[in-house]
């Protein structure tokens, strides 16, 4: 009787796995026996689940209704990305040759197609000469947009749209697209977060035909530990325009903007221009070193919280460099995303002698 009970218990577990909303079965080469983890695909790599891998085989069974992008990792490093879409997902390939892919559902098949083609693009680009590269970049852009267009009915296409195209589109246009998705996609966490981010961005970005938005105050410590509020800088009678600038020492494009900001500051500071630089660094030493090396003579503050700082949330900053030009007289945000010589050109227009 005891033996029969054990057999029935094993059968019940097997049936439970088969009835799970999402089943991920792996059969891969080059991965040692041990543990395979399912983690969030960000820097935190939060562990969502873990299972045993033996002889290259492993199996996850997911009942949670939330569909999301996850990374499958061995004990050493990432194996592949996949979507926890309903159905049976196969993970195959060779870990040593970096060919592990997921397949079996609509979004994962599309993801595999995308990753395969992008890898080929990278190889072709590396082997090309400078004259060929503009055409290759255009070909890659066309492929990317085509993958988004034909997959907007699944989570892969929506994720690709949100991560790659949405940041470059007007917020109203992006919001209309997101709100027009089928209900099962609108309810995804990634879509709801993107909608909220668009709405927050609209609150701090000038919109055609709408009143100019008002700045949102933030209080952060400078390099000496003294709290400085954005409000105090804007209300300083010496200042006429303040550039709220989000940056970080590890951000190459941010460092590329610094010579332009130095030139604009040197030329227009005495005429009423100030910069309130908010660093999204997570290491204080790196932040202070960049300020010194880049000769950033303006106001620099940071809570050393990375993108988790409240100011980044309030201004919907999900990529840097990012900036907002504020009229001190009205407190209105009159321009955003000024790059290179655009800051100086805008100030020349505003601060005519």
**For 221-233, how does the pLDDT look when each residue is reduced to its tens digit (9 = 90+)?**
999 999 999 999 9
For tokens 């609209």, name the residue: 202
Question: Among candidates 86, 88, 81, which has minimal Cα distance to 39?
Answer: 81
Smallest CA-to-CA distance from 85 within 25, 15, 155 is with 155
Sequence-separated contacts (24+) of 287-294 with Cβ below 8 Å: 287/223, 287/248, 287/249, 288/223, 289/249, 290/249, 290/255, 291/223, 294/255, 294/258, 294/262
Tell how strand 332-336 and strand 322-327 pair up.
Answer: antiparallel
In DSSP terms, 351 is beta-bridged to none
Q: At 216, is the secondary structure helix, strand, or coil?
A: coil
Specify whether the backbone of 12 is left (phi greater than 0), alpha (psi in -120 to 50) or beta: alpha
Half-sphere exposure of 63 (CA within 13 A, CB side): 6
Structure tokens at 306: 């990375």
State the architecture of 15-104 in CATH terms. Sandwich (2.60)
pLDDT the model gives residue 199 = 92
Answer yes or no: are the C-beta atoms of 325 and 315 closer than 8 Å. Answer: no
Integer Cα distance of 278 and 321 in angstroms:
10
Q: Give the domain ranges of the chain.
A: 15-104, 119-202, 219-350
Q: Which phi and psi (to 5°) does residue 108 adopt?
A: -75, -35
Nearest C-alpha neighbor of 214 from the set 329, 321, 339: 329
Report the length, in residues, of the chain.
Answer: 353
* Digitized pLDDT (tens) for each residue of the chain, 353 residues in all: 444 333 333 333 333 445 689 999 999 999 999 999 999 988 788 999 999 999 999 999 999 888 999 999 988 788 899 999 999 999 999 988 888 999 999 999 999 999 999 999 999 999 999 999 999 999 999 999 999 999 999 999 999 999 888 888 888 899 999 999 999 999 998 999 999 999 999 999 998 888 999 999 999 999 999 999 999 999 999 999 999 999 999 999 999 999 999 999 999 999 999 999 999 999 999 999 999 999 999 999 999 999 999 999 999 998 899 999 999 999 999 999 999 999 999 999 998 75
Measuring CA to CA, which residue among 316, 317, 322 is closest to residue 343?
Answer: 322
Is the Cβ–Cβ distance between 84 and 67 less than 8 Å? Answer: yes
Residue 166 phi, psi (nearest 5):
-55, -40
- Say whether 104 sits in a helix, a strand or coil: coil
Q: What pLDDT, on the 0 to 100 scale, is given for residue 18?
A: 52
Which CATH architecture describes the domain 219-350? 3-Layer(aba) Sandwich (3.40)
Burial class of residue 351 (count of CB atoms within 10 Å of its CB; 0-12, 13-18, 19+): middle
Secondary structure (DSSP) of 253-322? HHHHHHHHHHHHHHHHGGGTEEEEEEE--S-HHHHHHHHHHTT--SEEE--S-GGGSHHHHHTT--SSSE
- Cα separation, 320 vs 307, in Å, equals 10
How does DSSP assign 181-209, residue by residue?
Answer: S-HHHHTSHHHHHHHHHHHHHHTTS--TT
Do β-strands 299-301 and 273-279 pair in parallel, antiparallel, or remain unpaired?
parallel
Tokens matching residue 279 = 């660093």
* Residue whose pair of structure tokens reads 């800088």 in the numeric block: 233
Task: Cite the DSSP H helix spans in the chain.
Answer: 2-18, 106-127, 133-150, 155-160, 171-179, 183-186, 189-202, 230-234, 252-268, 284-293, 310-314, 342-350
pLDDT for 38: 95
Answer positive or negative: Cα dihedral of 43, 46, 48, 51. Answer: positive
């Amino acid at each position: 009787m005891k033996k029969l009970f054990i057999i029935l218990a094993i059968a019940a577990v097997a049936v439970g796995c088969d009835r799970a909303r999402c089943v991920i079965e792996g059969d891969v080469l080059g991965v040692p026996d041990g543990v395979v983890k399912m983690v969030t695909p960000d820097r935190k790599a939060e562990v969502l689940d873990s299972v045993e891998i033996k002889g290259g085989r492993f199996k996850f069974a997911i009942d949670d209704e939330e569909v999301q992008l996850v990374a499958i990792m061995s004990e050493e490093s990432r194996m592949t990305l996949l979507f926890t879409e309903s159905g049976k997902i196969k993970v195959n390939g060779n870990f040593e040759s970096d060919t592990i892919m997921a397949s079996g559902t609509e979004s994962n098949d599309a993801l595999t197609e995308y990753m395969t083609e992008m890898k080929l693009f990278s190889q072709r680009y590396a082997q090309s000469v400078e004259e060929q590269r503009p055409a290759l970049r255009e070909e890659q852009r066309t492929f990317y947009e085509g993958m988004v267009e034909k997959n907007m009915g699944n989570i892969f296409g929506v994720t690709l749209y949100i991560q790659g195209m949405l940041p470059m589109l007007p917020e109203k246009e992006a919001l209309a697209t997101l709100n027009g998705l089928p209900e099962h996609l609108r309810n995804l966490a990634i879509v709801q977060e993107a909608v909220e981010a668009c709405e927050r961005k609209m609150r701090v970005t000038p919109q055609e035909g709408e009143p100019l938005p008002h700045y949102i105050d933030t209080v952060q410590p400078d390099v000496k530990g003294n709290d400085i509020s954005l409000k105090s800088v804007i209300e300083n009678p010496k200042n006429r325009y303040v550039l709220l600038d989000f940056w970080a020492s590890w951000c190459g494009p941010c460092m590329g903007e610094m010579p332009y900001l130095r030139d604009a500051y040197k030329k227009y500071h005495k005429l009423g221009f100030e910069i309130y630089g908010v660093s999204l660094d997570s290491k204080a030493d790196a932040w202070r070193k960049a300020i010194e090396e880049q000769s950033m003579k303006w106001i620099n503050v940071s809570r050393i919280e990375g993108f988790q700082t409240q100011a980044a949330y309030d201004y919907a900053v999900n990529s840097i460099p990012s900036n907002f030009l504020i009229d001190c007289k009205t407190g209105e945000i009159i321009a955003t995303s000024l790059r290179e010589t655009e800051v100086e050109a805008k100030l020349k227009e505003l601060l005519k002698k």
